[in-house]
Structure 1
Amino acid sequence: MGRHLTTARTYFGTDTRGMLEGGRYALLHTRSLEFDDLRPYVPGDDVRDIDWKASARSGHVLIKRYVSEKHHKVLLVADAGRKMAAATPTGERKSDVAVNILGAIGLITLGRADQIGMVFGDTRGCVNIRQRRGETHIESMLHRYYGHVRSRPGRSDIVCQLDYVATHYRHPMLIVVVSDEPEVDDRLSDSVRRLTGRHDLLWAMVTDLPAVGTTGDDRAGFDVSTGRYVLDSATLGPRVVTAYRRAEQHRVHRLAEFMTTHAVPHTRIDGSAQIRSRLVELTGVYARAG
């Protein structure tokens, strides 16, 4: 297993059972009537698949497993612009957290033999990697993304990537967006509306280190988008800092309300240590959708 997938597995683990199942386009992951083998029952399995005769003989509850006929087509859509060079609340670089999230999704698809591709980029354009299966393919995608975001990326604007996907991908699929927390405006609303009309959409947002120092941390911030420094909280004063924090709470609430209104399951991730719990929760919401 390659470097990026190995790192992702460190944070995500190896148990991917039940993830990315269901959803509005569950018909993309169906099974044939051809019996494959038996396996032990685990909580969450469909009781209709229990082989009662085999269970009685063995003394353990066994599930019939069938040969899969079709699988999900998964498309990763990732921000590879300057914003991903910023720091997260845990001090990690956002691009490092993002590549671990992308790798975790890749690990889930490996267990299901799903086809997976990726669109990433910045305001200058998009890189489109066709959907394929396999560990080598996923590691290659992660390597290309990481190389782009670590070079000299342009300004971040995830709407550019969303518009590209809405224009070039017509067949229904599962789209997983990995970006910073986007600005809610008419452009974002139009892009999300176009995508959710045809596809299933999940969104994992990598959060920023607060621009103004948290309590006990008065260091000045740095805006990676503009190259400008942000004054420290001692210089700004308590009234400005309080107003900033109030505005941040409003922004986060407005973004969550936007995603909920557009029926987009979403999560905010502060660092790599949260990837497992946040993605389990996110895929659980997806599985219950539709």
Structure 2
Amino acid sequence: MDSLLRRVKTKLSIHAHRRVRGLIEGEYRSVFHGRSMDFDDLRPYVPGDEFKDIDWKATARHGSPLIKRYIASRKHTLMLVVDTGRDMAALAESGESKRDLAILAAGTAGYIAIRHGDQVGLVTGTAEATHVMPPELTESHLERMLQRIHSSTSLSSGPSDLSRQLEYIARTFRRRMIVMVIADDRQLSPVEQRLVRRLSVQHEILWLMIGDADLMREDWAGRAMYDVADSAALPEFVRDDPHLRAEYASTVLTSATSTEEFFESVTVSSRRVTSGAAVVPGLFRLLEAHKHARR
């Protein structure tokens, strides 16, 4: 079987530039009170600091006590939550398979995490069942996760219902993680919104949406189209109606605005991607937005 991770690496290499490469090769690092081998800078002594952290030479030059401050690398667990219901077997806005875009996004995020020394796990499922692959730190494990997404997402899959997978995360994992959800582009149900609010307190949440295909596109006029959720066909005369097209565009915009406002209200970084070419840059913009978000 062809390696899905190899395809991801190829795409990642094509889109790599200085900013992206720095993130891939860098570390999750943050300054905090504690010790590691990496010296960062000096700061004034305050009561309660360890005397052994005083830099006596710098103190003599400065005239008042200075404390050595260190940088320590913090390792994380990245838990990928991927909708593998039949909704994700549909077409994305670009005409590509949503499943392929989800695999590219999961593979890119997972590969970056592993390069940083972080463990990566996977939660997939439908309204009928949830499947879990515990976090590990190897590329072979990431390859198995991508193959799981590929084999589990088809038109014969059960209906999508992210509340099952979100509920599993909320119930099972107590230790703080980075949770990246890769899902269909739609408004969340009230149950899903409640779970996202709960999870945003427990964990760091990032949400990547795969944009829906516009079944009323003029260049798809001669192509049979149907809804994967119930196999209902979309008649051609409906797709040709300019008023319905305008109403459809307005509905999509309203839905996207509402979803964005919800994620902002719970301080969850989100991004919508519509094509394979947009996945890697979109993912890095999502990571950058998450890095600078107010928490």
Q: Please, what TM-score do these two structures have when normalized by structure 1?
A: 0.80
Does the 8 Å CA contact 1:4/1:143 hold for their aligned counterparts?
yes
Give the structure 2 partner of residue 172 of structure 1: 176
Q: Does 1:92 find its partner at 2:96?
A: yes
Cα distance per residue 1:78-103 (max 9 Å; x no partner): 00000011011211111011011100
The Cα shift of 1:235 comes to 5.8
Q: 1:235 to 1:286 in 2, by over 3 A?
A: closer
Assess if the C-alpha contact under 8 Å between 1:30 and 1:69 holds in 2. no
Pick from 112, 119, 134 the counterpart of residue 116 of structure 2.
Answer: 112
SS for the counterpart of 2:156 is coil
Which of 5, 18, 22 is residue 23 of structure 2 equivalent to? 18
3-state SS, counterpart of residue 208 of structure 2: strand
- Residues 81 and 156 in structure 1, CA contact (< 8 A), matched pair in contact too: yes
Deviations 1:185-217 (A, max 9, x none): 311211101100110000111111013x22454
Secondary structure of the structure 2 residue equivalent to 1:137: helix
The answer to which of 199-208 and 243-252 deviates more is 243-252
* Amino acid of the structure 1 residue aligned with 2:11: Y
Aligned to 2:283: 279
* Aligned position for 1:154: 158
Match of 1:8 in 2: 8
Structure 2 distance, partners of 1:186, 1:162, is 13
CA distance in 2, matches of 1:236, 1:16: 45
Please state whether the residue corresponding to 1:197 is helix, strand or coil.
helix
| Residue 186 of structure 1: aligned partner | 190
The match for 1:135 is: 139
For residues 95 and 69 of structure 1, what CA distance do their matches in structure 2 show? 34
Work out the percentage of aligned pairs sharing the same amino acid. 25
SS of residue in 2 equivalent to 1:127: strand
Q: Which residue of 2 aligns with 1:34?
A: 37
SS of 1:229's partner is coil
* Letter of the 2:217 counterpart: T
The DSSP-based 3-state class of the residue aligned with 1:228 is: coil
Aligned residues: 259
Distance 2:33 2:28 in 1: 10
User: Larger relative contact order (C-alpha < 8 A, sep ≥ 6)?
Assistant: 1
Q: What amino acid maps onto 1:84 in structure 2?
A: M
Q: CA deviation at 1:105?
A: 0.6
Q: What root-mean-square deviation, in Å, do the aligned CA atoms of Structure 1 and Structure 2 show?
A: 2.8
Closer/same/farther in 2, CA of residues 193 and 72 from structure 1, 3 Å limit:
same
TM-score, structure 2 as length reference:
0.79
In 1, the alpha carbon distance for the partners of 2:33 and 2:77 equals 13
Structure 1 residue 236 displacement after superposition: 5.4
Unaligned 5+ runs, structure 2 = 43-69
- Structure 1 residue runs of 5 or longer lacking an equivalent are 37-45, 50-65
